[in-house]
Amino acid sequence: MAAKLSLVVCVAVLCSMVVVAPHAEAAMTCGKVASSLGSCLTYLKGTGPLIGGCCNGVKGLVAAAKTTADRQTACGCLKSMATSISGLKPNLASSLPGKCGVKVGYPISTSTDCSKVH
């Protein structure tokens, strides 16, 4: 009887781990993307210089996007933000990672297929 109870407990624990694991997988959020890039807005609209705070945000965002799920989420957030920001200059957005000395591994563009980002 004790062996059956132990088996039931083990199965219950494993099932709960499977249910909880996917929720912990993607740590990236659109809020994190927006807050990381907030100081870049004037530069991205062409109305201000590229400041250190912007590059720090870009570098922090790239460092935080550790998994494929994180990078895909960040990509989707960037695309969504790009369409909602009036006056955004696409050429400045696409060149921002390079100007800040980081590589993101996919083009920063509203035409990027985020499902193909790895």
pLDDT tens by residue, 4-58: 433 333 333 333 333 344 444 558 999 999 999 999 999 999 999 999 999 999 9
Do the domain assignments include residue 37? yes
pLDDT for 102: 95
pLDDT by residue (tens digit) across 84-95?
999 999 999 999
Contact 42, 96 (CB under 8 A): no
Give the count of domains, the chain: 1
Do the domain assignments include residue 78? yes
Do the domain assignments include residue 21? no
Ranges 12-26, 58-72, 73-87: which has the least confidence: 12-26
Domain of 38 in residue numbering reads as 28-104
